[in-house]
Structure 1
Amino acid sequence: MTGPAGRLAGKVAVVTGGASGIGAGTVRAFHAEGARVVVADVQAEAGAALVAELGERTLFHRTDVRDEASVRDLVDTAVAHFGRLDIMFNNAGIIGAVGPIDRTRMDDADLTVAVNLRGVLLGMKHAARVMKPQGSGVIISTSSPAGVMGGVGAHVYSAVKAGVIGLSNSVAAELRPYGVRANVVIPGAVVSAMTADLVAGGAADLDGAAAALDRSRYMGRPLQPADVAAGVVYLASDDAALVTGVVLPIDAGMTGAGGPSPMADDKYADQAGRREAGRRVGDPDPQEV
């Protein structure tokens, strides 16, 4: 009997925040590509339902990423159940503290840091504990456009998402000699429960979220969890065997090409050439045209 085919056939993956949104989309994509997947989340009902949907090669483990014992047990369970750990996707996150900087409630700020940065650090620590002696592995962590741009996210959320990038790049440098890669994805606004809670009628209003995001889309449609999952699968696969220390935006150009291009304006359609010191130069001689 042969095993499942796919780019991740034979691999073992852990996905934190795996019960919904980007996490659930990635669990489905990993599973479709042949991986065995541990779904880690505090949402026990949703996590169990996802595992029931996908069936064999999946396992749910209730995990609080703020708690080191919980993360340690998650990684140990993955190894005990599936024999190894090849992919750690640190995806669990919350919006957390919101509001003006001068009214920030520090309990809310501390919770935001605990989930979004401490949780990633713990995932990296315990994945590396297994991957370094194994001599292989991939650690992928979720950041945000708010981690590289001002004005698109809450203050503390923006800070910790920037911190995820710095942490991952530093860890990539350490783990490279061990054959372990560390990378980051930056999803744009995705049609998910988290986004729906911000822009629509509540976490369950995915149709409302899709409609709201459609009005501000950068390309032909709003981003879906599967769009982000496709990028995560690439980074997790051997197609990216020499890719480490990178930040991959999956955001329809929001962070890298967010502004409108003047070259897309019709007024430039017949003005190929160049400009210097405020004037056009290099136009062809009309008598040579």
Structure 2
Amino acid sequence: MTSDTFDDRVILITGAGSGIGRAMAIAFAKAGGRVVACDIDLANAEQTAAEIGDAALAVRADIADEASVAALVEAALGAYGRIDVLCNNAGIMDTMALPADIPIEQWERVLRVNLTGTFLVTHAVLPHMLGQGRGAIVNTASEAGIRGGAAGAAYTASKHGVVGLTKSVAWAYAKDGIRCNAILPGPTMTNIATGGSFDPTGAARLGPVLALGESLAQPEQMADAALFLASEAASFVNGAILPVDGGWSAA
């Protein structure tokens, strides 16, 4: 992939303040793109943008809130006039609680951010991509999107939903020049699971499955996969659900 692959392209990335999202922002910028680094933590988004330099704009947005998403898209269009690539990367973890044990409020919050949030940003960006006659969407799903025992009930259901949404968008807009694919990260060195405690029953039950994927990937390895799916090298790749897990899903 040449360094000018994304020249004059605008890439909107949610969850760009840390982890995989930050790695994506830096990778797309290095490939010549102009990046809108979105995060619910503005300071983190600004840190990512500062690392990139003039080719980046930091925006705070809560993807679970429709008005916040609308303001995010407006800010991106106001700054750059277009959105060529959307990376729906923002998400939160659950506590690994099993279905009988998960609090309803946790279920609703995880689904709201991971699935509805991904939909809200996609829903807001699609009209602009349709107007351009082209666009690429890369969703960050998860290994939990194709397994039943890689996370708790809420996270698992949300990421299965992201997989389904990815396929639906790919099918709906294939003839409109818009592609939609998803990466399924395996265990990756990020901070998504920090700041909370795990349900002991769920963690004990899921532990043997999680141990199969104990080798941690670096966020940059996920970013490379996203870069490929958004690039012209993948121009005929649409609706793909790509595990990026070192072979964990092949076990």
Common fold: TM-score over 0.5 = yes
Q: Secondary structure at the match of 2:192?
A: helix
Find out whether 1:249 has 2:246 as its counterpart: no
Tell me, yes or no, if the aligned pair for 1:19 and 1:41 is still in contact at 8 Å: yes
- Provide closer, same or farther for how the CA distance between residues 151 and 218 of structure 1 changes in structure 2, counting only shifts above 3 A: closer
Offset of residue 152 of structure 1 = 1.1
Higher relative contact order at CA 8 Å, sep ≥6: structure 1 or structure 2? 2
Give, in whole Å, the separation in 1 of the partners of 2:59 and 2:21: 14
Deviations 1:87-112 (A, max 9, x none): 00001000135423222211111100
Counterpart selection for 2:225 from 228, 231, 239: 231
Tell me, yes or no, if the aligned pair for 1:96 and 1:111 is still in contact at 8 Å: no
Query: Which residue does the alignment assign to 1:144?
Result: 142
Give, in whole Å, the separation in 2 of the partners of 1:54 and 1:110: 35
Equivalences for residues 55-134 of structure 1 within 5 A: 55-134=53-132
Tell me, yes or no, if the aligned pair for 1:189 and 1:195 is still in contact at 8 Å: no
Counterpart selection for 2:165 from 156, 167, 170: 167
- Identify unmatched segments of 5+ residues in structure 2: 198-209
Counterpart AA for 1:67: D
Q: Secondary structure at the match of 1:125?
A: helix
- Provide closer, same or farther for how the CA distance between residues 241 and 52 of structure 1 changes in structure 2, counting only shifts above 3 A: same
Deviations 1:229-255 (A, max 9, x none): 000000111111111111111110111
Larger of the two Rg values belongs to structure: 1
- Provide closer, same or farther for how the CA distance between residues 111 and 218 of structure 1 changes in structure 2, counting only shifts above 3 A: closer
- Structure 2 length-normalised TM: 0.90
Offset of residue 5 of structure 1 = 4.4
Tell me, yes or no, if the aligned pair for 1:97 and 1:109 is still in contact at 8 Å: no
Aligned residues: 238
Give, in whole Å, the separation in 2 of the partners of 1:43 and 1:91: 14
Query: Which residue does the alignment assign to 1:47?
Result: 45
Identity of aligned residues (%): 34
Offset of residue 198 of structure 1 = 7.5
- Identify unmatched segments of 5+ residues in structure 1: 200-214, 259-289
Counterpart AA for 2:245: D
Offset of residue 83 of structure 1 = 1.6
Tell me, yes or no, if the aligned pair for 1:26 and 1:226 is still in contact at 8 Å: yes
Find out whether 1:240 has 2:234 as its counterpart: yes
- Structure 1 length-normalised TM: 0.78
Counterpart AA for 2:113: V
